[in-house]
Amino acid sequence: MDRRKDPFLEILPQLNVHGEYADTVMTVVNDFIKENIALKNYKICVIHGHSSDILKRKIHESLKHNRLVKNYYLYNYNIGCTIIELKEGE
């Protein structure tokens, strides 16, 4: 098994937002959230990186106020990823 791959992250739907601008990143993330609710995926992963934390801060600030999000947290084994738990039945 490749040590760089995490099996937990491999099974979650993922969105990689590296290279996105802070001004537009939430449009992409919100579309991803809505698509996964429609597909009945209630746990997803957004990969934002951890170099300057600009994207992470923008995403987390927006998730605080998103009515579709039940919970979110940094993934313990890779702080460049945020795991988002979505509300079911929304």
DSSP result, 59-86: HHHHHHT-TTEEEEEEETTEEEEEEEEE
Taking the alpha carbons of 71, 77, 82, 88 in that order, is the dihedral positive or negative?
A: negative
Residue 45: strand pairing partners: 14, 83
Position 5 scores a pLDDT of 67
The pLDDT score that the predictor gives to residue 2 is 47
Model confidence, pTM: 0.88
pLDDT at 71: 97
Please, which residues have CB within 8 angstroms of residue 19's CB and are 6 or more apart in sequence? none
| DSSP β-ladder status, 14-16 and 78-86 | unpaired
Please tell me the predicted confidence (pLDDT) of residue 50. 83
> Domains plus CATH for the chain?
7-86 (3.30.1370.110)
Q: What is the mean pLDDT of each run of 10 residues along the chain (90 residues)?
A: 63 92 95 96 93 91 96 91 89
pLDDT of residue 4: 63
The H-assigned helical ranges of the chain are: 7-11, 25-38, 54-64
